Structure 1
Amino acid sequence: MEVEIISEESIKPSSPTPHHLRTYNLSLLDYLVGYPYVPIVFYYPNHNDNDNNIFQALQRSLVLKKSLSETLTQFYPLAGTLKGDSIECNDVGANYVLVLVHGRLDGFLHKPDLGLINRFLPLEPSFDQSSVGSRVTNVKVNIFKCGGIAVGLCVSHKILDGAALYTFLKGWANMASKSEEVTYPKIISPLVFPAESLRLRDIFQVSYQTVLKEAALKVAASRNGVQQPTRVEVVSALLWKCTIAASKEAYGIQKTTWLNHSLNLRKKLPTKTSKDLIGNMMRVSSAVCKDNDETTLHSLVNKVHDSIVKVNDEFVNEAQGDEWYVAMHKLLQQMGEIGSVGPTEYYIFTSWCKMGFNDIDFGWGKPSWVSGLIGKGFKGFFNLVTLMDTKCGEGVEAWVTLDEEELKILQCNPELLAYASVDPSPLSNDHVI
């Protein structure tokens, strides 16, 4: 799929950032982020195919640029650059790349070539690109000859987690569509979780897609276990079970495995406006399956469920005092002690379900598909699972990165295939119960 660059420019805030806001200090939770950027792509097919396809798409790009400039005034740190322990809010602006794709978007969506998805992003996220001076926000608008548009973003994970990314995109979409709904970001996370001297950085990673049939899966998972597991708990446990089996088949032994889930803390904060807090408001829950533990689905669902419910409202108080450091050091010490006994694998799961990404409308309709990061070819990205809603809202897409040998085994796992389809077309809902 040939791509031709039309333009590349900086989109600056429509109004300058006041001098007293020129430095944004990272919060305590921002230091726990191991990935450089939060990547995402939105796909908007052209449903009115005519002779003015490209012209119409170019006009939409102008709307995106103007509204992005206005939105960056409110989300001012996103127009800055990284500077060690802070973000320099210098209004350098978002990097905005406009390209022409010689192909049809509907043809691509019919059977996506996952190896091409990274080309729709403004850059290929790597751990070398989060250095001092890097832009916080990068955008790539891909215009297809049919008039379809794919909007790709890579925004620094140092200031945005999945929920904060949605808040920014919702604000941008409202501005572009001239909606009466106004998004007011709360850029106060360093006050809620002030940083001290803690520097904890873990490395995890993503790649292949599978859509899970959760209704039948929940029935199987609830037997002799949690009676009403959430779909995230069930899907996580199933993938955990199947990755354990893949690892055992590949290496001949069952390793001790940790499943770490990134949880959104905004709902646990007392303020009603916490949903619009900008920053990384996450806590990691951890479940362990030792090398001699049973790996039935219901037992793993119980482990996932128990680890998640332990993250309660008390954490908010812990994170603002010395107890946070004690709790984190205990967790890391426990992981180290178990890992020292024998071979150990660590998996990081993050859920974007029910966040609303499928509703991002810049004024020409909701996206037909939303995709995350494809880890293929990216150094350092492994053992990462991102869960996202299918467009119909009834299923879950799991973007998974594993060791290549384990991934080949996983894709043929009969238990996984009983509930899931591997790489289905996002234009079809036939795979969802």
Structure 2
Amino acid sequence: MIGKLLWLGKRQLHTIISREVIKPSSPTPSLHHIYNLSELDQLFGHIYMPLILYYPNNGSCSLTAHEKAQVLKQSLSKSLTKYYPFAGRLPTPIKPSYIDCNDEGVVFVEAKNDSPLTTFRQVNEQVETLDQLFADNLVGQNSPESRNVLGVQINHFACGGVAVTLSMWHGIGDASTLASFASHWASVSRYGSTDHEEVLPINPYFIHSPLTSSVLPESQVMAGQDRARLEKRRFVFPNSKLSDLKNKVTAINNNPTRVEVLFSLLYKTAVAAATKKSGCFQPSCMLLLVDIRKRFVHKLPQTAVGNLLSATMIPTRHPSETSLSLLVSEIKKVKLQLEGVQSVQQAAENIKSLFAKLGNETKRTYTCSSLCGFPYDKVDFGWGKPTCATFPVLKAVDTNGFMLMDALNGDGIEAIVILEKEEMEIFENDKEMLSFCQI
């Protein structure tokens, strides 16, 4: 694979410099050689969550490209002593129930691109050609035979900027787990030790689960769509506009959050676009994914490793049920129903029950997930914070939906919207939605 050349666009040449495997700096104790996946973990398919962290060359770091790579390798090796399942292997890529923590290590690829970082992003943000930034093409469902838990790649650009990418197997954890790992690894990179006083508070917290099998029956798996028919767009909603949006529904709803009102606006607009395209209203559903770490009876730390998510749905059977005030009220109501989780097993049963109902409720589902508040934009390996943290989500998603992240400058929320192409054309020209966007 070394020396393999990949063309990006017409003039961008991407070259793989090296590929190696980084192992933990100290062996995993025999007591931890088997990491059982929880019933929630096993509900997720063989998908890799792809994260890109872009770092420009701001002149403040004296390290060479080679030295940056060495720092990442050394700190990754140290971090894997704490995140030991990440250095293991799946016994099989098909519905595994545990991870073999055998210290085989994490794939680490180093590559270079002959264009400046800004040029690369201008060309490639508009098309789905970002796979080459990821180790061994571990993006979404692209690697059905892989047994790796994690892949890492550092990409050097002609300007001196870099893009660090992480590909985490979804069965080991959710977006919060990925954020915690990235923050831990970066802190070890900056401070040089997993035992530093600044690193200790972000050490992982593992929930030890019994060996179980908890996969969803095929009849309960939500049917995906043809990914080629989907379009992805980014919309930025500044805080001032979100305040205006909140004011529209505050009289009826007590202190709605920015995320609640934005999900309501996006869903309302998407349903209207689908109705306009087809010529008639179809029953629809908002599928809301919620981090439940703080919703357990005995609250879990944010560094808890795993898919600690629950899901709830808000069905819409009539056009009148898409008003902003009603949608915000329903979101608040269903989120309250998720409080007081007794166990991971209970959360898994809730999701199974929900998916059983989902097929009967609607034919149109919009998945809603929020990464707001997650510290992706603070992942500093020693050469500054990233100017952009992004997920090439179209590679991993095959359903309509919305994903929210904090805006890069801290002013507002960036929404990634995924819809069918014809509906996207209507959606992105909706006057009400655009009135709250940054133009």
TM exceeding 0.5: yes
Tell me which residue corresponds to 1:245.
272
Does the 8 Å CA contact 2:39/2:212 hold for their aligned counterparts?
yes
AA partner of residue 121 (structure 1)? F
Q: 2:336 aligns with which of 296, 309, 315?
A: 309
Tell me which residue corresponds to 1:101.
113
**Counterparts of 1:22 and 1:145 in 2: how far apart (Å)?**
42
Does the 8 Å CA contact 1:49/1:146 hold for their aligned counterparts?
no
How many residues align? The count is 405
Tell me which residue corresponds to 1:364.
383
Q: Deviations over 1:259-315 (max 9, x none)?
A: 1111111112355662221111111121111144432222222222222222111x2
Q: CA deviation at 1:140?
A: 1.5
Query: Could you list the runs of 5+ residues in structure 1 that have no partner in the other structure?
Result: 422-430
Q: 2:26 aligns with which of 15, 19, 26?
A: 15
**Counterparts of 1:61 and 1:5 in 2: how far apart (Å)?**
13
SS of residue matched to 1:58? helix
Q: CA deviation at 1:11?
A: 1.1
Tell me which residue corresponds to 2:235.
210
Tell me which residue corresponds to 1:428.
none
AA partner of residue 248 (structure 2)? A
**Counterparts of 1:387 and 1:101 in 2: how far apart (Å)?**
29
Does the 8 Å CA contact 2:48/2:396 hold for their aligned counterparts?
no
Tell me which residue corresponds to 1:79.
87
Q: Deviations over 1:221-275 (max 9, x none)?
A: 335x313111111111111011101111221121111111111111123556622
**Counterparts of 1:69 and 1:28 in 2: how far apart (Å)?**
29
SS of residue matched to 1:316? coil
Tell me which residue corresponds to 2:249.
221
Residues 41 and 189 of structure 1, relative CA distance in 2, 3 Å threshold: farther
Does the 8 Å CA contact 2:49/2:396 hold for their aligned counterparts?
no
Does the 8 Å CA contact 2:293/2:308 hold for their aligned counterparts?
yes
Q: CA deviation at 1:124?
A: 5.2
TM (normalized to structure 2)? 0.85
Q: CA deviation at 1:114?
A: 3.3
Does the 8 Å CA contact 2:50/2:140 hold for their aligned counterparts?
no
Tell me which residue corresponds to 1:283.
310
Tell me which residue corresponds to 1:426.
none
**Counterparts of 1:272 and 1:288 in 2: how far apart (Å)?**
29
Deviates more, 1:274-283 or 1:206-215: 206-215
**Counterparts of 1:390 and 1:380 in 2: how far apart (Å)?**
21
Q: CA deviation at 1:203?
A: 5.9
AA partner of residue 403 (structure 1)? E
Q: 2:412 aligns with which of 392, 395, 401?
A: 395
Q: CA deviation at 1:49?
A: 8.9
Q: Deviations over 1:376-433 (max 9, x none)?
A: xx48622132211112323111112211211222112212211124xxxxxxxxx6xx
AA partner of residue 279 (structure 2)? G
Q: 1:146 aligns with which of 149, 154, 159?
A: 159
Residues 272 and 177 of structure 1, relative CA distance in 2, 3 Å threshold: farther
**Counterparts of 1:379 and 1:265 in 2: how far apart (Å)?**
22
1:62 and 2:70 correspond: yes
Show the 5 A alignment for 1:11-410.
11-34=22-45, 36-48=47-59, 56-83=64-91, 84-108=96-120, 113-115=125-127, 116-122=129-135, 123=137, 125-127=139-141, 129-131=143-145, 133-178=146-191, 180-182=197-199, 183-190=202-209, 195=212, 197=214, 199=216, 201-202=221-222, 207-213=232-238, 214-223=242-251, 225-269=252-296, 274-313=301-340, 315-317=341-343, 319-320=344-345, 325=349, 327-328=350-351, 330-339=353-362, 344-375=363-394, 378=395, 381-410=398-427
Identical counterparts, % of pairs: 31
TM (normalized to structure 1)? 0.86
Residues 10 and 374 of structure 1, relative CA distance in 2, 3 Å threshold: same
Deviates more, 1:106-115 or 1:390-399: 106-115
Query: Could you list the runs of 5+ residues in structure 2 that have no partner in the other structure?
Result: 1-11
Residues 308 and 34 of structure 1, relative CA distance in 2, 3 Å threshold: farther
Residues 20 and 274 of structure 1, relative CA distance in 2, 3 Å threshold: same
**Counterparts of 1:162 and 1:114 in 2: how far apart (Å)?**
24
**Counterparts of 1:139 and 1:379 in 2: how far apart (Å)?**
17
Residues 290 and 218 of structure 1, relative CA distance in 2, 3 Å threshold: same
Tell me which residue corresponds to 1:5.
16
Does the 8 Å CA contact 1:32/1:202 hold for their aligned counterparts?
no
Does the 8 Å CA contact 1:260/1:284 hold for their aligned counterparts?
yes
